[in-house]
């Protein structure tokens, strides 16, 4: 009797790509440090949601490893908008600060748009403002990580049907724009989308960034699709993505795991942005 081999997707391990990129970043960062004006990232945190605390820890570890200076300002959840805006203004004016990031989500009592827009565009390390008139855009680190993983497959993006689930300014929208720029036909799904399954099942590339554990069922995935799982959800003490991983592996050609896929690469892309800001600040 013939036993059928279970098909399984190739894993897109962001961690491995991240290690390669870190190797390439060390030398320019060291050069800048020796020149006497080291890279410095200022990080603002309001409250201490679990995801933010974990993210701040992993980013801090990468910055330490690369000898990038860091300023960490942790405010209580009830911090006023005025206090945050004053802090951002001071960091904008501080010549020693290369980039500023504000951890999301901010407490609901604050107006996130006005806080994020207070960051000077030449210090906006997550590319959260639309920039005009500067030499090059700063891209969302998470969207850059998504694209790097898709490019790692070696598959052509142009002409493909891509479905992005999630339309946040930080992940979904910039990921969709990067795919559009590479001539994919892009559908962006969100909470208002009627039949998510239908959209996903015709996608050659699926980017799941909804923050809902196992929202995307494995049997929705088109045979041979590339699946990038951005979601980070804590379920029974474990970190899981937005895609039903095991079942999706049986249909996808490539899939990024959670953890170990998009996450580790995002931090490296953020440090790349910091280097780019350093260049732009010196060119203006
Ligand atoms: P967000 O809450 O700002 O946006 C979520 C998006 O998903 C919205 O557009 C919403 O409409 C959509 N959505 C929610 N439920 C849906 C559903 N049932 N069907 C269709 N669409 C739905 O979140 P975000 O900041 O964009 O983050 C999304 C996920 O990605 C989270 O799990 C977050 O932790 C993770 N994340 C990971 C990284 C990383 O580097 N790995 C970075 C940023 C965010």
pLDDT score for 134: 42
Whether 54 has a pLDDT exceeding 90, the answer reads: yes
Domain architecture of the chain: domains with CATH? 36-125 (3.40.50.10860), 141-263 (3.40.50.720)
- Angle at CA of residue 20, ends 15 and 22, nearest 5°: 90
Residue 107 to residue 146: CA distance in whole angstroms? 27
pLDDT in tens, 145-157: 999 999 999 999 9
Q: How confident is the model at residue 137 (pLDDT cuts 50, 70, 90)?
A: confident
- CA nearest ligand 1 atom 31, residue: 211
The region of weakest confidence among 100-104, 137-141, 178-182, 262-266 is 137-141
Q: State pTM to two decimals.
A: 0.88
Whether 4 has a pLDDT exceeding 80, the answer reads: no
Residue 130 sits at φ, ψ, to 5 deg, of -80, 125
pLDDT in tens, 205-219: 999 999 999 999 999
Which one of 127, 171, 267 would you pick to mutate in the ligand 1 pocket, going by the greatest count of ligand atoms within 8 A of its CB? 171
Distance 87 CA to ligand 1 centre (A): 28
DSSP annotation of 183 reads T
Determine if ligand 1 sits within 6 Å of the CB of residue 14: no
- CA nearest ligand 1 atom 30, residue: 231
Determine if ligand 1 sits within 6 Å of the CB of residue 12: no
Distance 170 CA to ligand 1 centre (A): 9
Q: How confident is the model at residue 2 (pLDDT cuts 50, 70, 90)?
A: low
């Amino acid at each position: 009797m013939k036993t059928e081999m279970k098909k399984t997707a190739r894993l897109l391990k962001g961690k491995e790509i991240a290690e390669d990129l870190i190797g390439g970043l060390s030398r320019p960062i060291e050069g800048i440090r020796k020149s006497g004006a080291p890279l410095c990232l200022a990080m603002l945190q309001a409250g201490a949601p679990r995801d933010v605390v974990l993210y701040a820890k992993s980013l801090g570890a990468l910055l330490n490893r690369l000898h990038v200076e860091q300023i960490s300002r942790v405010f209580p959840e009830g911090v006023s908008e005025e206090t945050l805006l004053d802090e951002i203004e001071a960091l904008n004016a501080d010549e020693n600060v290369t980039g500023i990031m504000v951890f999301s989500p901010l407490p609901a009592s604050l107006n996130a748009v006005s806080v994020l827009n207070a960051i000077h565009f030449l210090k906006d390390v997550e590319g959260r403002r639309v920039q005009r008139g500067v030499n090059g855009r700063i891209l969302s680190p998470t969207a850059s990580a998504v694209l790097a993983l898709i490019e790692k497959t070696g598959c052509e993006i142009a002409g493909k049907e891509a479905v992005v689930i999630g339309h946040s300014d930080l992940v979904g929208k910039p990921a969709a724009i990067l795919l559009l720029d590479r001539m994919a036909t892009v559908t962006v799904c969100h909470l208002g989308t009627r039949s998510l399954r239908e959209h996903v099942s015709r996608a050659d590339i699926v980017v799941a960034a909804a923050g809902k554990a196992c929202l995307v069922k494995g049997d929705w995935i088109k045979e041979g699709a590339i699946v990038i799982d951005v979601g980070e959800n804590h379920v029974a003490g474990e970190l899981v993505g937005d895609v039903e991983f095991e079942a999706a592996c049986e249909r996808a050609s490539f899939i990024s795991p959670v953890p170990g896929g998009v996450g580790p690469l995002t931090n490296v892309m953020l440090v790349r942005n910091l280097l780019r800001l350093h260049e732009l600040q010196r060119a203006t």
